[in-house]
Structure formats: structure tokens, C-alpha cells
């Protein structure tokens, strides 16, 4: 797709006005691997048969390439059937990295001046060239594609398993919205999405909500002074002292709330429903939706919430290192969730 058309669609369909964002997205090639050299084709064209053979062995079973590729494929948090270009590039990357490590050991052990040393040195040069080509191809990809390619940490695999269990837990049990009596700001979910509700009182607070909705943002503060509790508070200086109560408390000893916090941190976003209430002529309490805000938490707050939730879940599940595969859950967590209550539904009915 031509660059001007990409920028036009980003502006028209996605309301993107930042020229830096437009330039970054429109400069990405539509076919990022069109100039990427296939390593196996390169080896077939290698004039020295010994070099081609040794390099192929290093990329395969002999050099640990097959094992590295199998591990990488088994730990992808996405279907490897749907992104073949990422499978190719990621597979080549881990094979080359494994081959590079093995070749370095062979070169260190080979006698100086021996024919085998020269073969291994040339094989290492081919691998190094391929890694540079891979780096160039990765640079031309989007941030989302890079995130799917990179190696994941043990904590991330543990988080993936916990969220697999939690999402299943939320979707297989029914939840019903009920107006909240105790607090003015409440956290919960709607299906497997984080969702908050905030009750506003008086004209001043309603004007503040109108400002939030127009601005599209709400300033938040995070405090984790105790390992058993995390507080997210509204930090809006224009709202006055009455909004000190606009805060969320997560009990980190509660496995459901710890999972909810992890979901919030990994998504880095939440929808906030602003609610108004009044007593009707029959003295019944009526709750109405004043508006909703799709709130971005940002990477800094998201990372903080994820880290706090992960530590809490590690304490609650001390013998669960996490799954080796993304689609596997954490059995101990499944048992805990099965005996726990569901989080509140904080989404007001439309």
C-alpha cells in the first residue's frame, strides 16, 4: 500500500494526528521479509562444501539449533499457524544464536592453522552475516510483531498461565451487575476485561467527569506500601478534598484480586464507568451511566501492577513455577479459583 494512503487511513479511520506516528507506521514495508535471505538457500550456494555442511549441522541438531527452535516454538503466546513470517524469522534467530554459541566453542578448541579451524571460522562468519540480516528484518517490523518474536522470561510464562486460568474462570461462571453501596470507586471485571465504576455526586463532580471524558484521561497514583495491599487512587487536584475517597484497594491475599491486578497490568488499560445516583419518587435508589472512559494506564503503571501481582501470586502459589507452554494453566491456581468468589461486575448495564 502506498505511503500516502497508509497515512490517510491512519488519519481518517484511527484519528491519528501525530506526524511522528504517521511517519513511523507508513515507513514500515508491507512485505518486511521480501529482501530477507533464506539461510538454507545461502548454504546451498556456498562454494566450499565443507563450510556449507558444517554450518547446516550447527543450525540443526549438532549445534543445538533444532533444540532451540523446538523450545522457541513451544513457548509462543500465539498460534504459529497464523504468522508464518514470524515463525521463519524467529526460528532462524534462535537457530543462529545456538549455532553461534556452539561454533565459538569449536573455534576455541581447534588448533591454530588446522583446516577444521578455518572451516569453523567461515561458518561463524556466515552465521554472523545471517544474524545481521535478521536484525535488519526485525527493525522493519512493528512493535507488536517484535513483542511476539522476543524470548519470554520465566515470570512472563507464569503470568501467561495464571491469566489462562483466570480468563477461563471468568468466562465459565455467570456474573451479575449490582449497584455498589459501600464505596464510591470499585474495581472488577466484565467477562475477561478489567472494568471500574466511579459514583459521582453533585454538579461539581459531574463537571469534572465531563472534563475527563473530553480530555480522555484520568490521572492515577499507585501505592504498594504493604505486601498485602495495593492502592490505586485518583490524583486530580481540581476535584477538591472530597475525591480522596476515589481510590481502589486490591487485597493481595485474595487470589481473585491478585489475578485481576495482573490482568490490569498486562492489558495496561481499563474502562471506567462514571455513575450517578438519585432517589426516585418511590424512594428507590436509581443508578445511571453518565459516561465511560477507556483509560490507558501506560507502560510504567502497567509494569508496576504486573510486578506486584506476580509477587503476590508467587506467594499464593509457592510450588508453581509456571507452565512451559502458553496454553497450559497453573493447576494449583485453578483449584484456588474454583473455591473463590468471582470479582465484582463493575460495568453498568447499557
21 — pLDDT class (breaks 50, 70, 90): confident
Task: Classify burial at 75, counting beta carbons within 10 Å of its beta carbon; exposed 0-12, middle 13-18, buried 19 or more.
Answer: middle
User: What digits encode the pLDDT tens for the residues 60-98?
Assistant: 988 999 999 998 888 777 777 778 888 999 999 999 999
**Lookup: cell for 260:** 485481576
Q: Is the pLDDT of residue 347 over 70?
A: no
> For the whole prediction, is pTM greater than 0.85?
no
User: What digits encode the pLDDT tens for the residues 111-131?
Assistant: 887 888 999 999 999 999 999
Please report, for residues 178, 278, 284, 289, 349, the alpha-carbon distance to residue 281 in angstroms, rounded to integers and kept in the order given: 21, 10, 7, 19, 22
Task: Classify burial at 131, counting beta carbons within 10 Å of its beta carbon; exposed 0-12, middle 13-18, buried 19 or more.
Answer: middle
- DSSP strand pairing (229-234 vs 220-226): antiparallel
Q: Is the pLDDT of residue 146 over 70?
A: yes
Q: How many CB atoms lie within 10 A of CB 339?
A: 7
Domain boundaries, the chain: 31-149, 154-338
Q: Is the pLDDT of residue 241 over 90?
A: no
Q: How many CB atoms lie within 10 A of CB 196?
A: 22
Per-residue confidence (pLDDT) for residue 200, from 0 to 100: 78
* Distance from C-alpha of 297 to C-alpha of 241, rounded to nearest angstrom: 23
* Distance from C-alpha of 187 to C-alpha of 267, rounded to nearest angstrom: 15
User: What digits encode the pLDDT tens for the residues 277-288?
Assistant: 766 667 666 777
User: What digits encode the pLDDT tens for the residues 247-263?
Assistant: 888 999 999 999 999 99
> Taking the mean position of all CA atoms in its chain, how far away is CA 300?
13
Per-residue confidence (pLDDT) for residue 244, from 0 to 100: 43
Per-residue confidence (pLDDT) for residue 124, from 0 to 100: 95
Q: For the residues 180-204, what does the mean pLDDT come to? A: 76
Average pLDDT of the chain to the nearest whole number? 81
Q: For the residues 12-38, what does the mean pLDDT come to? A: 72
Amino acid at each position: 500500500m502506498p505511503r500516502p494512503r497508509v497515512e490517510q487511513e491512519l488519519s481518517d479511520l484511527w484519528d491519528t494526528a501525530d506526524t511522528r506516528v504517521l511517519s513511523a507506521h507508513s515507513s514500515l514495508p508491507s512485505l518486511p521479509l521480501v529482501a530477507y535471505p533464506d539461510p538454507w538457500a545461502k548454504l546451498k550456494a556456498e562454494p566450499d562444501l565443507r563450510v556449507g555442511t558444517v554450518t547446516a549441522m550447527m543450525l540443526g541438531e549438532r549445534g543445538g539449533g533444532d533444540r532451540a527452535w523446538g523450545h522457541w516454538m513451544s513457548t509462543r503466546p500465539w498460534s504459529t499457524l497464523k504468522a508464518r513470517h514470524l515463525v521463519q524469522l524467529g526460528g532462524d534467530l534462535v537457530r543462529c544464536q545456538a549455532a553461534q554459541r556452539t561454533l565459538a566453542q569449536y573455534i576455541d578448541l581447534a588448533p591454530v592453522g588446522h583446516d577444521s579451524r578455518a572451516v569453523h571460522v567461515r561458518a561463524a562468519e556466515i552465521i554472523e552475516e545471517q544474524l545481521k540480516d535478521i536484525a535488519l528484518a526485525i527493525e522493519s517490523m512493528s512493535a507488536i510483531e517484535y513483542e511476539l518474536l522476543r524470548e519470554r522470561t520465566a515470570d512472563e510464562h507464569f503470568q501467561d498461565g495464571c491469566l489462562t486460568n483466570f480468563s477461563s474462570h471468568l468466562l465459565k461462571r455467570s456474573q451479575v451487575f449490582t449497584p455498589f453501596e459501600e464505596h464510591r470507586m470499585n474495581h472488577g471485571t466484565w467477562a475477561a476485561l478489567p472494568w471500574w465504576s466511579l459514583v459521582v455526586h453533585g454538579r461539581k463532580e459531574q463537571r469534572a467527569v465531563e472534563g475527563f471524558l473530553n480530555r480522555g484521561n484520568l490521572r492515577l497514583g499507585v501505592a504498594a506500601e504493604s505486601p498485602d495491599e495495593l492502592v490505586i487512587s485518583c490524583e486530580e487536584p481540581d476535584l477538591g478534598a472530597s475525591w480522596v475517597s476515589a481510590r481502589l484497594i486490591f487485597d493481595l491475599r485474595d487470589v481473585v484480586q491478585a489475578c485481576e491486578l495482573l490482568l490490569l497490568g498486562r492489558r495496561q488499560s481499563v474502562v471506567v464507568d462514571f455513575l450517578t445516583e438519585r432517589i426516585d419518587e418511590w424512594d428507590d435508589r436509581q443508578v445511571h451511566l453518565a459516561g465511560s472512559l477507556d483509560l490507558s494506564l501506560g507502560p510504567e503503571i502497567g509494569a508496576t501492577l504486573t510486578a506486584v501481582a506476580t509477587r503476590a501470586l508467587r506467594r499464593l502459589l509457592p510450588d508453581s513455577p509456571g507452565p512451559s507452554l502458553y496454553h497450559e494453566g497453573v493447576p494449583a491456581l485453578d483449584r484456588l479459583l474454583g473455591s473463590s468468589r468471582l470479582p465484582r461486575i463493575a460495568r453498568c448495564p447499557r
